[in-house]
Amino acid sequence: MNLALQIERYLPRQLLELVEDISREANQLGQKAYLVGGVVRDLLLGCSNFDLDLVIEGDAIELAQQVAKIRQIKLIIHSRFGTAKLNCGDFTLDMATARGETYAKPGALPTVTPGTLNNDLSRRDFSINAMAISLMPSNYGELLDPYEGRSDLEHRFIRVLHPKSFSDDATRILRAIRYEQRLGFELELQTAQLLKQDIPMLDTVSGDRIRHELELILKERHPEYVIKRLGELGVLQRINSALKGDGWIAEKFDKARLLSKPIQLSSLYICLLIYPLHERENKHLIRRLNMPTRLAQVLCDTLQLKSQLHLLDKSSIKKSEIYYLLHEYDPLAIQANVMASESSAACSNLKLFLTRLRYVKTSLNGERLKRLGIPAGPELGKILQILHKAKLDGRIKTRAEEEKLALSLKS
């Protein structure tokens, strides 16, 4: 099957010209270049994907340097891994020297050795990601499909390449379900059996790698579908016995998409995912997934604030009380509680803090108070806080009123 015409229609002109240049330069250097992985899958499905991956039989870095020199584009090299990244306007293209890999033990990172395209495709996770398109002039556009990935696309199957796939690398369990739900596919029968059988192998994988896969899931358009399926299969519970993928999560994730800034959305999803947990269960999850310090603190803030929501569950509370109850919590933790709390009064007060109260400042600061004759020390700090509370509660509005109140508090 030749996909040359499909490539021409599929790729933006800028990327197509870059791919054609790579094809020519590879041929001149006696190397072979192939489009591989997700872009091949998505081209056949008719889905947009312009993050291109190329495998080179030869020296990917040498080829990338030559192309970057000719086109005068930015190049990033990772010599240790034999990879390079070309930045072309709004697009990036990753190039890697063809390699094979072996696993010293289940869950370990693979040992990588130089190899052929066939070696490279054989190390991939699923048949639909183990296809390549030749970029050589002699057979430009030819589909190379040694594991019948195109047939699996047509039958809408997710299928592993060999029986030890999940035991070699159990993160593929999470990826299998992510692709299944994103594409609306099904696990092929033997793959489904192997996945269920090898769920305990998740214990062999580092927390960092599981967290990375979870982060990718939470960047999906509808991560709640993946989370629900992982819950049904018992995968979530293997990561942490208290995690659930029920309807509550789906409802809150849907709500999050309407309220959150996109840059924080995946972190907000994690806050909602752990919201039903007890603090002890949350700390266990943080340790298991080796959470970064800031995210770990946000998760702890989320549950600590949850335990304090009863203090905000009233409409008569002063604005200064709201502020000083909340100002030390991370805004993301507060936002998570807005969406998760069942108390309308508490939600209203949380929103008030996020939208208005946290931005209220006094005109006077410490230096200006000193000019009014108030000495540095504990008294000055107390006066600043009294001024701030008065400003929050609307008891003072102008700078003159702030100065008058400050002077009245002077010892």
CATH number at residue 74: 3.30.460.10
Q: Is the pLDDT of residue 261 over 80?
A: no
What pLDDT does 14 receive? 86
Give dist(CA 203, CA 181) in Å, integer: 24
Of the candidates 1, 5, 10, 67, the one whose C-alpha atom is nearest the C-alpha of residue 33 is 67
In the prediction, which pLDDT does 411 show? Answer: 63
Q: What integer pLDDT is reported at residue 92 of this predicted model?
A: 86
Mean pLDDT of 285-313: 96
Q: Tell me the pLDDT band of 113, cut-offs 50, 70 and 90.
A: low
Return the structure tokens found at 10: 């599929």
Distance CA 223, CA 409 (A): 55
Checking if the pLDDT of 106 tops 70, the result is: no
pLDDT-derived band at 107 (thresholds 50, 70, 90) equals low
Together in a domain, 86 and 137: yes
Q: How does residue 260 score in pLDDT terms, banded at 50, 70 and 90?
A: low
Q: Which of 132, 208, 125 is nearest to 173 (CA)?
A: 125
- Which one is predicted more confidently, 102 or 171? 171
| Same domain, yes or no: 121 and 67 | yes
pLDDT more than 70, % of the chain: 96
Tally of domains in the chain? 3
Mean pLDDT value across residues 138-163: 95
Whether 346 and 401 share a structural domain: no
- Residue 287 covered by a domain: no
User: Secondary structure of the chain: what % helix, strand, coil (to 5)?
Assistant: 60, 10, 30
AA letter at 396: I
Is 392's pLDDT higher than 80?
yes
Q: Indicate if the pLDDT at residue 262 is higher than 80.
A: no
Question: Does residue 271 lie in a domain region?
Answer: no
**Residue closest to 199 by CA, chosen among 229, 155, 154:** 229
Residue-wise pLDDT for 331-361, tens only, equals 999 999 999 999 999 999 999 999 999 999 9
Q: Same domain, yes or no, for 68 and 14? A: yes
Q: Are residues 4 and 52 in the same domain?
A: yes
Q: 316 and 396 in one domain? A: no
Mean pLDDT throughout 13-42? Answer: 91
Rounded percentage of the chain residues whose pLDDT exceeds 90: 62
pLDDT category of residue 73 using cuts at 50, 70 and 90:
confident
pLDDT of residue 389: 93
Tell which of 101, 126, 156 closes a domain.
Answer: 156
Of the pLDDT bands very low, low, confident and very high (cuts 50, 70, 90), residue 383 is: confident
- Final residue in a domain of this structure, among 90, 121, 156: 156
The residue type of 273 is L
What gap in Å lies between CA 308 and CA 314, rounded to an integer? 13
Same domain, 28 and 118: yes
Sign of CA dihedral 190, 196, 198, 204: positive
Under a CB-based contact definition with an 8 Å cutoff, are residues 300 and 282 in contact? yes
pLDDT of 278 > 90? The answer is yes
Least confident of 103-112, 147-156, 369-378: 103-112
The segment with the largest mean pLDDT, out of 37-51, 54-68, 155-169, is 155-169
Please give the structure tokens belonging to residue 182: 């994103």
Question: Is residue 409 within 8 Å of 383, Cβ to Cβ?
Answer: yes
- The four Cα atoms 35, 41, 46, 48 give a dihedral, to 10 degrees, of -70
DSSP code for 312:
G
Which range, of 93-102, 240-249, 349-358, averages the lowest pLDDT? 93-102
* Average pLDDT for the chain: 90
CA–CA distance from 331 to each of 126, 350, 353 (Å)? 40, 10, 9
Q: Which domain holds residue 396?
A: 366-409
3-state secondary structure of 53: strand
Cβ 53 vs Cβ 81: under 8 Å: no
Taking each helix axis as running N to C, give the angle between helix 265-273 and helix 207-218, from 0 to 180 degrees, rounded to the nearest 10: 110
Say whether pLDDT at 231 is over 80.
yes
Shared domain for 44 and 131, answered yes or no, is: yes
